[in-house]
Structure 1
């Protein structure tokens, strides 16, 4: 099966979130299962620099200007780069400038990504033509619309990584993007008078997937659907909405071989985890004491991630002798609140603003508990990394968190399925109750080690997801 993934970021070349991890790992896993898989991505500066030498597939004039399509093999995966410097050669993130303002021509920048995916589906590369075009999130949402407009030269799959980001643009861009005018309607890509790149993907694709089974159910409800719930309910009733759980790239996230750690360890021998804990405590300015229960946050600092709840539960956490290490950036109010907590509680709270891939490995290896108290979470990868590293996740029961973490309730401890701490309500009290359960288990080292051992043995590799996508493609 020849499959083209269409995305806006790709680990390790360019990452702003979990989408990059998925785009970086899934194609390789699918190739290992026998599919012929390639990736299409804009030629952002970090991507061009990381890939190095490419060869020209062809060039053409588009609504966004003159474009060269280039190709290279990168870590065993074929990568197409859309090279048009006036659109993509900019500082800042792929989506906004250094002042965090969205680029005013994002409709062109990401409309072009979808347009070029359609060109490849129509045979632009004389040596390779995809049978399935698999696009990811709103950035690639117009792909399926263009493919329908060109007579459906390939089957299409659209994966929602986060429904909250919808790619909304003014209707006046319709002609500029060369979208057929009849597509601009409720049964199409129109959303409250605007063009929705996300809705285009949801409506025009042959099949829609999300990154966990629970999230696939949640987004058909008003609380999680962001206005798209009726459309998603319809797709579900047609049998065209599926949740396929993300995986962990074990070439990158494996404590036995992770070169970023102070010391490597395994489920069979956890002694070296204490070395990583001492490193983390020193690096974060925490009191170095192996008996203290260290909680960690590695996250965007937003209310969606439930980090206001962490601040609410912090007094309870500290009163019981715990420590907190935070790595992340985001909402200015939350950033200041965590910095203030660190200043008020030296030795107990450590905060580092920003995101550092290497340090995230060291935090997850060194902490005892990784906190992911999200209000909604399509899949979540952080808790999967925690499980892999024997750092027990503390999560809210939503989305992929509900699918991957089993609470340390007595019955789950008894039957050996417990892997972390799960709370129900988005309240500080509910979170604090979960924190207390963590301290109770911590006071029983034998039980703690048993849960750690089980958590590290759960298989969340990409092979299962790759096989599920392969089955979906074959059905299409």
Structure 2
């Protein structure tokens, strides 16, 4: 090894639309696309999940000789393949049948019940990434993501040493260059992104000796954390710079309430200038109500900036998609005494305690004859899944729940049909669903935290000129009921302009990647 190429490698467990369990997948699919568009040289490294990657979304072009890693005394062989995802994003696929030929990315119920060998599965991803560098050349930057990419910095350092490559030249990461740099004994710059600090990849310390890492990484300066292996902690400690997915969340995680035991480490990194909050974006081409192939009816407006005169077409767009969705799921369109359809609440979420869905369900159970219809898509913790299913049984003409597995097509249809999109999160690193929902003309009700605070303009704030929804200060059944009741008041108001302006304001919010991609570009160059 020793020859560098002018590339940035993204490494993680997911990449939409090939394979997605949450927001990480969206970012792994859309940020590299934005960087490629900006002229940078990018590859994405993911496991080769043969069972769950649709063949029409990816083209495998080449296979390379197999590599081997010893986990304890057991050798495991793995393969490396290269190809392209739809949209032309270059791929490196780490192939290992025993670890990656599964029906889910992390485990059952959207990862709520993780596979017992996830430690070895994602250690395999790290070793496969380092082996691929031997074949394809060493990238100038390795950008690893979340706990599933947490072993990448250690394996890169173990393979190439601790001294970081330094390269002069503003365009060194550009696709216009075919630049190779001989830098024997140097390693790439290491960037690490936390998407959700709650999930850290914590395992028994005895298993450390069976994942192919040098003993020196079993220390408080790397993966050891109060007598356990902590994949996320090691990824944080061994990277050159740490990013997270919104400015507010970058501040929150340095506090005891949001730090999940790592707030001390994170505060130190922030004080050193190594922790940056960069707001995520969405793929504006993929999430586009005018061209979306998943939805029943597209938005018939040519302009990209909307005004109150656009509301008639937005109303038509919503109503037609709502009727079509209800026909598909066999739910009647309910109306009030004046014949006005009940507003549709959309929920596309992991059904986890942090998401506030349990409290939302309590609010609806406790609300006498609530004036909404609700469509829920999600999977997660068993007791929340059961509660959502029970609500749909009790209120079958008002509530529909698709529980257990993510459905991409249905998610698009929910965004297009919903009047109100609810994300009552207790903490939310960034959240992409609210950005998508606003693009489809939804009014947002969300917890006042993390990226939701950064992206939802609160109608309760008199200083906000173009509100897009309401922020819930106290995420409990009473707080959620208050927020929904207030939005319902706008929906049925005699002053229809209030509701129209909320929809138009939401649709005008643009959360593409252009600005944030430039910030990431600056981060990469600052390390080189």
Q: Structure 2 length as normaliser, TM-score? A: 0.84
Instruction: Indicate yes or no: 2:481 matched with 1:435.
Output: no
For CA contacts below 8 A with separation 6 or more, give which structure has more relative contact order.
2
Query: Secondary structure at the residue paired with 1:27?
Result: helix
- Structure 2 unaligned segments of length 5 or more: list them: 1-5, 163-186
Q: 1:221-300, aligned counterparts within 5 Å?
A: 221-265=255-299, 266=301, 267=306, 268=310, 269-270=313-314, 271-282=316-327, 283=329, 285-289=331-335, 290-300=340-350
Within 1, Cα distance between the matches of 2:278 and 2:246? 5
Query: Secondary structure at the residue paired with 1:461?
Result: coil
Within 1, Cα distance between the matches of 2:365 and 2:107? 36
Shift of 1:72: 0.7
Instruction: Indicate yes or no: 2:363 matched with 1:313.
Output: yes
> Deviations along 1:201-247, whole A, 9 cap, x unmatched?
11110011111111111111111111011000111111011111111
Within 1, Cα distance between the matches of 2:97 and 2:18? 17
Query: Secondary structure at the residue paired with 2:354?
Result: coil
RMSD (Å), alpha carbons: 2.1
Q: Is the 8 A contact 2:60 2:84 kept in 1?
A: no
- Structure 1 unaligned segments of length 5 or more: list them: none
Q: 1:3-402, aligned counterparts within 5 Å?
A: 3-45=8-50, 46-47=52-53, 49=55, 50-64=57-71, 65-75=76-86, 76-90=88-102, 92-96=103-107, 102-120=114-132, 123-126=133-136, 128-149=137-158, 150-152=160-162, 153-265=187-299, 266=301, 267=306, 268=310, 269-270=313-314, 271-282=316-327, 283=329, 285-289=331-335, 290-314=340-364, 319=369, 321-354=371-404, 355-402=406-453
Partner of 1:419: 468
Specify whether residues 102 and 386 from structure 1 end up closer, same or farther in structure 2 by C-alpha distance, changes over 3 A only. Answer: closer
Q: Structure 1 length as normaliser, TM-score? A: 0.93
Within 2, Cα distance between the matches of 1:189 and 1:140? 13
Within 1, Cα distance between the matches of 2:201 and 2:225? 11
Partner of 2:181: none
Within 1, Cα distance between the matches of 2:251 and 2:80? 38
Specify whether residues 297 and 101 from structure 1 end up closer, same or farther in structure 2 by C-alpha distance, changes over 3 A only. Answer: closer
Q: Is the 8 A contact 2:334 2:373 kept in 1?
A: no
Shift of 1:9: 1.2
Within 2, Cα distance between the matches of 1:457 and 1:369? 16
Shift of 1:158: 0.6
> Deviations along 1:69-119, whole A, 9 cap, x unmatched?
1111223111011122222223x2122369975333322221121123334
Q: Is the 8 A contact 1:380 1:401 kept in 2?
A: yes
Between 1:267-276 and 1:238-247, the stretch displaced more is 267-276
Specify whether residues 344 and 101 from structure 1 end up closer, same or farther in structure 2 by C-alpha distance, changes over 3 A only. Answer: closer
Between 1:451-460 and 1:44-53, the stretch displaced more is 44-53
- Aligned residue pair count: 470
Within 2, Cα distance between the matches of 1:296 and 1:369? 6
Query: Secondary structure at the residue paired with 2:114?
Result: coil
Shift of 1:381: 1.0
